[in-house]
Amino acid sequence: MIHLSSDTGDLFEQAFAYAQKQVRKLIEKHPNVYPLSTENGKWIADSPAWTHWGDGFLPGMMWMFAKHSEPDSVERTYWTEQAIKYTTPLEPRKGDRDVHDLGFLFFSSYYRWWRLTGDPAHREIIIEAGKTLATRFKEKGGYLRSFVGDNSIFIDIMMNVGLIFVAARETGDRRLREIAMRHSHTTRRVLVRGDGSTAQEGIFDTDTGEFLKQTTHQGYRGDSCWSRGLAWALYGFTTCYEYSRDPHFLHTAEACADFYITHAPADGVAPWDFNAPMESRMLPDTSAAAICASGLLRLCRLTPDPLKGHLYWSTAVHILRSLCEKHLTKNDPKWEGILRGGVYHVNQGLGVDESVMWGEYYFCEALERVLWN
């Protein structure tokens, strides 16, 4: 693998340090709150959140900051204490049957903690969360249902199904592995198109299990490619290949990566939807770009083709450079997030051109991967 030039390395290290500064300011201003997006650059911290799918991302960044602080330093102690403080309240979510988001919640928080300590209690929490997620499986149709209803599958669930693979690996439970495999194969068949683009949602006939149509909530249209969904697919199928070693999933991750690379603008930062009308296509989603960069940094190590590996690594570096040079909030001292230009929900007018917590998390994770992995 080629190495970062020293100016790029410096740029990324400064961005990682800036992220710590912004997160520290947030938790000092709003202790024990898990905001998901900003409004005019200020974290929405005083009104109830629409959903709690992203509560793991704030502690997830703290685990990264702790890991990459000097051993025995004041910073290491500070970030470890904060990470524990923000991770522990998430434990009851391991039994949450109402959402499909347990991978988002636990990979970022308890999984990082477990990897650091090897504590069997953390392993048990991960296993239980994976088992809970598996209860969403619909035998007819062969998929994990989304929070919307029994007939609905979401592309986002590819970011969560990895938790079932981990639970299967840790327990040796073949049924769990079968559920994870079947859901991933179904998603590949019904939500990923021949050109590598993706749909956000699919609808099934629950009586027969027949797949009926592709739809969307956060994208432009059912037949368009919502860029964050594509990024979830790229990253999620990469994880799925890592755990299963089924080459179909590698091909799917590569197809999604190739679609992103060939359709993104020159700076590598995707529009919120690749098929939105021209005027709205000017609106980028920096969170999709950050997720994609982090996914590519994993995929580049798994692909057996060295040319592709090089392309994925250098695209990730290019995206991160663009995010650091054009979208960091450093020039606006009143802005509370790290990255501007994230998009939550265009159709609801929620978190549009703002900071979004998952964008911050995957940006930091991508920096972590490129700097220290």
Q: Please report, as ranges, the residues that interact with ligand GLY according to CB under 6 A.
A: 53, 156, 218, 228
Task: Please say which residue, 249 or 272, places its beta carbon nearer to ligand GLY.
Answer: 272
Strand-pair category, 42-43 with 38-39 = antiparallel
In the complex, the smallest distance separating the C-beta of residue 324 from ligand GLY, rounded to whole angstroms, is 23
Cα separation of 196 and 182, whole Å?
20
In the complex, the smallest distance separating the C-beta of residue 354 from ligand GLY, rounded to whole angstroms, is 13
Task: Please say which residue, 168 or 234, places its beta carbon nearer to ligand GLY.
Answer: 234
In the complex, the smallest distance separating the C-beta of residue 173 from ligand GLY, rounded to whole angstroms, is 27
Cα separation of 216 and 218, whole Å?
6
Cα separation of 291 and 363, whole Å?
7
Please state, in angstroms and as integers, the Cα–Cα distance from residue 196 to each residue in 17, 104, 252, 256, following that order. 35, 23, 7, 5
| Contact yes or no for 328/290 (Cβ under 8 A) | no
Cα separation of 120 and 370, whole Å?
30
Task: Please say which residue, 138 or 228, places its beta carbon nearer to ligand GLY.
Answer: 228
Q: How many CB atoms lie within 10 A of CB 45?
A: 16
Identify any residues that bridge with 328 across adjacent strands, giving them in sequence order. Answer: 339
Task: Please say which residue, 141 or 236, places its beta carbon nearer to ligand GLY.
Answer: 236
In the complex, the smallest distance separating the C-beta of residue 242 from ligand GLY, rounded to whole angstroms, is 21
* AA identity, residue 90: L
Task: Please say which residue, 53 or 107, places its beta carbon nearer to ligand GLY.
Answer: 53
N-to-C CA span, the chain: 11
Task: Please say which residue, 197 or 303, places its beta carbon nearer to ligand GLY.
Answer: 197
Cα separation of 233 and 220, whole Å?
17
Structure tokens at 147: 């929070």
In the complex, the smallest distance separating the C-beta of residue 154 from ligand GLY, rounded to whole angstroms, is 8
Q: How many CB atoms lie within 10 A of CB 333?
A: 7
Task: Please say which residue, 12 or 344, places its beta carbon nearer to ligand GLY.
Answer: 344
In the complex, the smallest distance separating the C-beta of residue 348 from ligand GLY, rounded to whole angstroms, is 11
In the complex, the smallest distance separating the C-beta of residue 86 from ligand GLY, rounded to whole angstroms, is 20
